[in-house]
Structure 1
Amino acid sequence: MKEHIEVTIYDIADKLNLATSTISRALKDHHSISKKTIEKVKKTAKEMGYRPNNLAASLRSKKTKTIGVLLPTITQPFLSSLISGIEIAAQKAGYNVVIMQSHDSYEQEVILTQSLYNNRVSGIICSLAMETQNTSHFQLFMDNNTPLVFVDRVPKAFNTFRVVIDNYMAGYKATQHLISQGCTRIAHLTAGSEFSIYYERKKGYIDALKEANLPIEEELIIKLKAITYEEAENATNKLLDLKRPPDGMFAPGDILGVSAIQCAKKRGVKVPEELAVIGFNNDPISHIIDPNLSTITHPAEKMGQASAEIILKNLKSSKRDEVKEITFLNTEVLVRESSKRN
């Protein structure tokens, strides 16, 4: 097998009898080089099979044109849409995106954070793992003046950019909707720590019940170990086994709502007549399940774009923006058959 020899700017310079500095500037469309020379250099480079050495350039500048994205998983439709938004903004600006998954493990998140740092990413966007409570492993980005944005699952006390929705209000709206449909014993599935988005959704749920003078019953609130179909199925069975089972359920994720509907149907519980269910995120699965799942909208792609734009804006400027939180307020209840009683 013939060994491939990498073409360099020195080879192009030899062929065209030009200085290497001229070749380098021409390949970058520098204003000091004539249009004719730029065209000739680029044509020759293409013919010779030249490709720019981005790695060498990044080592010289100590940064790559890469945005690191660290997420709990890429299998959830919400997070897939978030990635899409990040990539749209990054690619438009000529940046690459490298994606890593923590699988909701704090330990894995720490390892991957160090890996992204070692690979000299220009900026990092992160949605925290479910297990994460201590976020000190992100401090190395701040110390290195690398833009850092937390999105969706964000720490409360870390002084950097955050892109979120109003999770409290979304939880309040979801619960208020079930109350408006005549539900009086509303169950809630929750997860994570007191710092998580699920905690905020739970606070909204509790306040909606209080406002309607409905009791807060601890047996109706189940904390899940993970946001999975199986966890929700176990929780739903537990709730339906109660002497007085719930007549409504707020599940803070559509996969949880789908699991609750299918579990109820298996047990002969009618949805929504005996158990009204509302989910969260407006994932594609919410349209497919029978009955269709009521849900809360979540502008994932816009959140991804906003996160990337913060990184790109800060990379362009020598002066860093003041740290701020961008909150998307336009979440709404999408009422479908799974909760529609009136």
Structure 2
Amino acid sequence: MALKHASISDIAKELNLAVSTVSRALSGHSRISEATRQRVWQLAEQLNYQPNHLAAALRKGRSNTLGVIVPNIDGHFFALVVKGVEAVANQAGFNVMLCQSNEDYAHEAKNVETLINAQVDGILVSLARTTHDFKHFEKVRQRNMPLVFFDRILNGSDVSAVVVDDQHGGYLATRHLLAQGRRRIAHLGGPQHLNIYKDRYEGYCQALREAGLPVEEDLVVLSKDMSLADGAVSIRQLLALPQRPDAIFSAGDFTAVGALQALKEHGLRVPHDVALGGFGNETFSSLTEPQLTTIDQQCEEMGGAAVRLLLEMVQETSLRLTPRKIVLEPHLLMRESSGRRQEA
């Protein structure tokens, strides 16, 4: 049988004190005598009193809780972003309510409703892969609730967001492959309606153009899920070309590893026959054979920066929140899968 928790009213009635006096005694108010505070706390412990911090915060207009919506926490990236979020939020005295959309638009919209109903002080969100309609975020704006996107963002000048420079990351990875002497570089990309995959593709194109090379449509393979299986399917498509690629830049590490496995199955050596680079610095990228060259996205830094931006917005008293955007620098991690020869 569950143990019943006493309320402030129960304590006040037992001690024949005003509810306000008990409340002040429990909060350590200086105007309440030490003798009264001790009486109140002694009875509170006997009656198993537990303070309702949420109710107290709501009376002050705050829940001291931040909502976070991520596509999933299965991989390295979002798990580390959440770690960065919680570290900064907890240090600032805020709790975190975490929701997963599971890459589903309808689930994401439900997550938004849940967080609004929970009266969180602000929401951090990275879009689901299937999100094309953004009307559920209008409900957040209508309540003037602080909203910050990260990684996968809602494009536009009127949103606050924290991202890594994905275009520059795609450029760095492709330029590195070019520096290894590769000239027929394929690209494994994701859904182009998502900013991260569109920008990484643009970076790929930029590096090729700078090198005086064309962007060949046959060498660009886009997939829906960016999974291991998608990487294997993409390799079969590329190897069916009259001239196979001598390098591959994948916009995600999962697809890159799927490509690595498929290349080995076809008797091709990495990086000798085909150099390979990914994006994301997933934990497994340093465990593959050969180790995968990849782009580090500054996961924890992204989470911390997103929370700091959200908390700044929470503290604002203006009726209209000013949109802000923070762009983090990507880092190229050169490993064996690309040959690791330094750029000139």
TM-score (norm 1): 0.92
Residues 320-331 of structure 1 mapped to structure 2, 5 A cutoff? 322-329=322-329, 331=330
State the match for 1:209 in structure 2. Answer: 208
State the match for 1:85 in structure 2. Answer: 84
Counterpart residue type for residue 337 of structure 1: E
- The 2-side partners of 1:245 and 1:27 are apart by 74
Q: CA deviation at 1:145?
A: 1.4
State the match for 2:126 in structure 1. Answer: 127
Q: CA deviation at 1:16?
A: 4.5
**1:272–1:341 Cα contact (<8 Å) kept:** no
- The 2-side partners of 1:94 and 1:42 are apart by 24
Residues 1-342 of structure 1 mapped to structure 2, 5 A cutoff? 1=1, 4-33=3-32, 38=37, 41-42=40-41, 44-57=43-56, 60=59, 63-157=62-156, 159-319=158-318, 322-329=322-329, 331-340=330-339, 342=341
Q: Name the SS of the counterpart of 1:338 in structure 2.
A: helix
Q: CA deviation at 1:21?
A: 1.1
How far does the alpha carbon of each residue in 1:257-313 deviate from its partner, in whole angstroms, 9 at most, with x for none? 211111111211100011111111212101111100011111111111111122223
- The 1-side partners of 2:141 and 2:48 are apart by 40
- The 1-side partners of 2:52 and 2:186 are apart by 57
Counterpart residue type for residue 139 of structure 1: E
Change (3 A) 1:47 1:95: farther
CA RMSD, Structure 1 to Structure 2 (Å): 2.2
- The 2-side partners of 1:36 and 1:185 are apart by 82
Change (3 A) 1:223 1:327: same
Q: Name the SS of the counterpart of 2:336 in structure 1.
A: coil
Of residues 49-58 and 122-131 in structure 1, the stretch that sits farther from structure 2 once superposed is: 49-58
- The 2-side partners of 1:143 and 1:31 are apart by 40
Q: CA deviation at 1:20?
A: 1.7
Change (3 A) 1:175 1:40: farther
Change (3 A) 1:18 1:211: same
- The 1-side partners of 2:33 and 2:339 are apart by 68
Count of aligned residue pairs for this structure pair: 340
Q: CA deviation at 1:5?
A: 2.4
Change (3 A) 1:43 1:246: farther
Q: CA deviation at 1:38?
A: 4.9
Q: CA deviation at 1:55?
A: 5.0
Percent identity of the aligned residues?
A: 39
Of residues 19-28 and 204-213 in structure 1, the stretch that sits farther from structure 2 once superposed is: 19-28
- The 2-side partners of 1:36 and 1:187 are apart by 77
Counterpart residue type for residue 225 of structure 1: K
Q: CA deviation at 1:317?
A: 3.5
Q: CA deviation at 1:4?
A: 3.1
- The 2-side partners of 1:328 and 1:31 are apart by 47
Q: CA deviation at 1:172?
A: 0.5
Of residues 240-249 and 12-21 in structure 1, the stretch that sits farther from structure 2 once superposed is: 12-21
Of residues 66-75 and 171-180 in structure 1, the stretch that sits farther from structure 2 once superposed is: 66-75
Counterpart residue type for residue 293 of structure 2: S
**2:334–2:340 Cα contact (<8 Å) kept:** no
- The 1-side partners of 2:309 and 2:340 are apart by 43
Runs of 5+ unmatched residues, structure 1: none
**2:157–2:323 Cα contact (<8 Å) kept:** no
How far does the alpha carbon of each residue in 1:189-219 deviate from its partner, in whole angstroms, 9 at most, with x for none? 1112345211001001001001101121111
- The 2-side partners of 1:270 and 1:35 are apart by 78
Q: Name the SS of the counterpart of 2:182 in structure 1.
A: coil
Of residues 101-110 and 144-153 in structure 1, the stretch that sits farther from structure 2 once superposed is: 101-110
